[in-house]
């Protein structure tokens, strides 16, 4: 496997916010705690406090959740047990419960967490580091997770269930499983033998990453939710998060960065089976949207005390909840995720919760042996592929000793000639100036058409070569976007069973470079 690393900025696929962050731009520094270097983790270890009681609650919840598996990999069980120790800390990533793991970046996030822990273990041998996948079980946007793309074809899970997707029964997945081109045992077993999507996703991540000690956690748990209750109370009585996040978002905009998420007056949902709806204050009542549920403040606070599991944080409060129940040092996310955490620093400070190091997940372009062969036959290098198609065509034309067709010089000469004619017309009969202008436009249009015809004729000489280039671009950048945002793990693992180990070997999470993996 040939590995090439390039700057994220060179891909043209990442926002200014992220490229500025990776360059440690001074404008962004007020919005995070520390930039993630190996040394910064040492300072984070000293700052992060997590009590033995919190560790015991976390351990017990994970033990309960992992009873859904018939057998736990020894590396996973060891890490769950180590979380009770005062010198054990986590590195966390999170994602929705996309079926069949969804786009490739789901896998990239987890491997980034695994490799970060490996590096930290070498640097800080007196501590233990556990990679954690936070399952977004409470998310209710089923349309975002009910499909995946396999070998260019979209497969969709149809279901009429509502509410938090982690609670969805996977029984109706049977039809989708029958539609697949072949059987995929890891997924087949998980979806057929689990009672809900949360358990199935845990089984899948365990099968794929159990040997690396990955621990998957479900925040939809009564005992874990108790840690959120002080936040819930202040959210209902003060609308604290909205005030702080709105203020930080404004500061971000003033620094030249667009906020990623929108804060609401109350950043909480009400959660029960089949239901996850926003809580809104209307006068002196707290209503659950799209239901008949309505509470006074006192009733709502009592509900929080008696049923903490009924309260679900939205995108604003979920990070705070996560950091209150995990001994976490760093959060790993995609570009948009990292950017929205910048809106939360004041909120963390208000609750005296250590703001985690923010890490951009590893990103990659995987070039199979056949695509690598096509690329080299076209005389291209991997980094060339990030140019748009027209730029690549121009480059290829140069390699084919074909200059870009341009009649710009002739256009300028024609314009100059008509300018002289227009000057002459004005001296003889000014009413003819308009007619001269019209003729000039006609001539310019004709020249433009000729330029296009000449370019087309030139292109047709190398039509097959340009078609190969177009096909290569579509293979590696499906739909014009990064491969990792469209393709599924199985598209690559099916033909390369060592795909995940190859990624583990290639990714350096603290290098902050885009990785190109080329089969040789």
Render pLDDT for 437-487 as a digit per residue (tens, 0 to 9).
888 899 889 988 998 888 777 666 677 888 899 999 999 999 899 999 999
Q: Is the model's pLDDT at 331 over the cut of 70?
A: yes
Sequence-separated (6 or more) residues with CB below 8 Å from residue 369: 519, 520
In tens, the pLDDT along 88-147 reads 999 999 999 999 999 999 999 999 999 999 999 999 999 999 999 999 999 999 999 999
In tens, the pLDDT along 217-263 reads 999 999 999 999 999 999 999 999 999 999 999 999 999 999 999 99
CB 3 within 8 A of CB 515: yes
At 13, is the pLDDT very low, low, confident or very high (cuts 50, 70, 90)? very high
Burial of 507 (0-12, 13-18, 19+ CB in 10 A): buried
Q: Are residues 448 and 321 in the same domain?
A: no
Full domain range(s) for residue 422: 407-461
Mean pLDDT over 380-398 rounds to 87
CB 32 within 8 A of CB 345: yes
CB 359 within 8 A of CB 36: yes
pTM, full prediction: 0.87
In tens, the pLDDT along 27-53 reads 999 999 999 999 999 999 999 999 999
DSSP class of 405: P
In tens, the pLDDT along 404-446 reads 678 888 888 888 888 898 888 888 888 888 888 888 899 889 9
Q: Are residues 328 and 417 in the same domain?
A: no
Sequence-separated (6 or more) residues with CB below 8 Å from residue 517: 1, 2, 3, 364, 365, 366, 367, 502, 503, 506
β-pair partners for 357 = 330
**For residue 414, what pLDDT is reported?**
85
**For residue 459, what pLDDT is reported?**
67
Q: Are residues 84 and 213 in the same domain?
A: yes
Round the average pLDDT of the chain to a whole number and report it.
94
Q: Are residues 436 and 346 in the same domain?
A: no
DSSP class of 428: H
* Cα angle 106-125-90, degrees, rounded to a multiple of 5: 35
Q: Are residues 143 and 41 in the same domain?
A: yes
In a domain, 378, yes or no: no
Q: Are residues 338 and 416 in the same domain?
A: no
Q: Is the model's pLDDT at 397 over the cut of 70?
A: yes
Q: Is the model's pLDDT at 402 over the cut of 60?
A: no
Q: Considering its fold, how many domains does the chain have in total? A: 2
Return the structure tokens found at 119: 């590096």
At 403, is the pLDDT very low, low, confident or very high (cuts 50, 70, 90)? low
**For residue 466, what pLDDT is reported?**
86
Phi/psi at 516 (nearest 5 deg)?
Answer: -115, 120
* Contacts made by residues 58-63, CB under 8 angstroms, sequence distance 24+: 58/83, 58/224, 58/325, 58/326, 58/327, 59/83, 59/84, 60/223, 61/217, 61/221, 61/223, 61/224, 62/215, 62/217
Sequence-separated (6 or more) residues with CB below 8 Å from residue 512: 8, 22, 360
Q: Are residues 352 and 438 in the same domain?
A: no
Q: Is the model's pLDDT at 365 over the cut of 70?
A: yes
Q: Are residues 506 and 457 in the same domain?
A: no
Phi/psi at 366 (nearest 5 deg)?
Answer: -105, 120
Q: Are residues 146 and 214 in the same domain?
A: yes
In tens, the pLDDT along 69-92 reads 999 999 999 999 999 999 999 999
CA trace torsion 109, 111, 117, 119 (10° rounding) = -120
In a domain, 7, yes or no: yes
Q: Are residues 104 and 203 in the same domain?
A: yes
Phi/psi at 452 (nearest 5 deg)?
Answer: -65, -40
Q: Are residues 357 and 426 in the same domain?
A: no
In tens, the pLDDT along 253-274 reads 999 999 999 999 999 999 999 9
In a domain, 52, yes or no: yes
In a domain, 197, yes or no: yes
CA-closest candidate to residue 330, choices 97, 85, 120: 120
């Amino acid at each position: 496997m040939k590995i090439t690393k390039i700057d994220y900025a060179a891909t043209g696929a990442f926002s200014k916010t992220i490229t500025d962050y990776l360059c440690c731009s001074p404008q962004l520094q007020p919005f995070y705690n520390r930039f993630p270097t190996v040394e910064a983790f040492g300072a984070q270890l000293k700052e992060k406090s997590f009590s033995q009681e919190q560790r015991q609650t976390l351990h017990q919840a994970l033990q309960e959740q992992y009873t859904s598996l018939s057998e736990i990999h020894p590396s996973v069980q060891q890490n769950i047990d180590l979380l009770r120790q005062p010198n054990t800390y986590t590195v966390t990533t999170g994602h929705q419960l996309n079926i069949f793991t969804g786009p490739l970046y789901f896998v990239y996030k987890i491997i980034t967490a695994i490799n970060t822990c490996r590096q930290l273990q070498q640097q800080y041998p007196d501590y233990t580091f556990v990679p954690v996948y936070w399952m977004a079980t409470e998310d209710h946007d089923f349309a975002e997770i009910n499909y995946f793309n396999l070998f260019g074809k979209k497969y969709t899970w149809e279901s009429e269930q509502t509410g938090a997707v982690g609670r969805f029964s996977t029984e109706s997945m049977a039809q989708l499983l029958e539609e697949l081109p072949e059987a995929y045992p890891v997924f087949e077993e998980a979806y057929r033998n689990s009672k809900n999507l949360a358990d199935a996703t845990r089984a899948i991540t365990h099968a794929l990453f159990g040997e690396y000690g990955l621990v998957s956690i479900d925040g939809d748990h009564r005992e874990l939710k108790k840690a959120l209750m002080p936040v819930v109370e202040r959210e209902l009585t003060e609308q604290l998060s909205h005030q702080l996040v709105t203020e930080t978002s404004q500061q971000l905009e003033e620094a030249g960065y667009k906020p990623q998420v929108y804060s609401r007056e109350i950043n909480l949902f009400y959660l029960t089976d089949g239901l996850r709806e926003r809580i809104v204050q209307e006068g002196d009542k707290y209503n659950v949207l799209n239901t008949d549920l309505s509470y006074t403040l006192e009733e709502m606070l009592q509900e929080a005390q008696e049923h903490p599991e009924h309260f679900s944080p939205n995108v604003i409060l979920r990070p705070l909840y996560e950091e209150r129940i995990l001994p976490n040092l760093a959060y790993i996310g995609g570009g948009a995720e990292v950017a929205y955490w910048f809106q939360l620093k004041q909120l963390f400070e208000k609750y005296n919760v250590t703001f985690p190091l923010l890490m951009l997940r590893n990103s990659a372009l995987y070039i199979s042996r056949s695509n690598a062969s096509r690329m080299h036959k076209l005389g291209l290098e991997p980094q060339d592929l990030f140019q748009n198609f027209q730029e690549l065509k121009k480059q290829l034309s140069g390699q084919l000793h074909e200059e870009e067709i341009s009649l710009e010089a002739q256009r300028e000469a024609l314009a100059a000639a008509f300018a002289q004619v227009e000057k002459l017309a004005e001296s003889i009969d000014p009413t003819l100036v308009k007619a001269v202008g019209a003729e000039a436009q006609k001539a310019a249009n004709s020249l433009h058409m000729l330029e296009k015809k000449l370019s087309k004729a030139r292109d047709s000489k190398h039509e097959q070569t340009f078609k190969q280039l177009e096909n290569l671009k579509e293979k590696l950048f499906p739909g014009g976007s990064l491969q990792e945002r469209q393709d599924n793990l199985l598209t690559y693992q099916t033909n390369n069973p060592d795909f995940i180990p190859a990624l583990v070997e290639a990714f350096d999470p603290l290098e902050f470079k885009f990785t190109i993996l080329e089969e040789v």
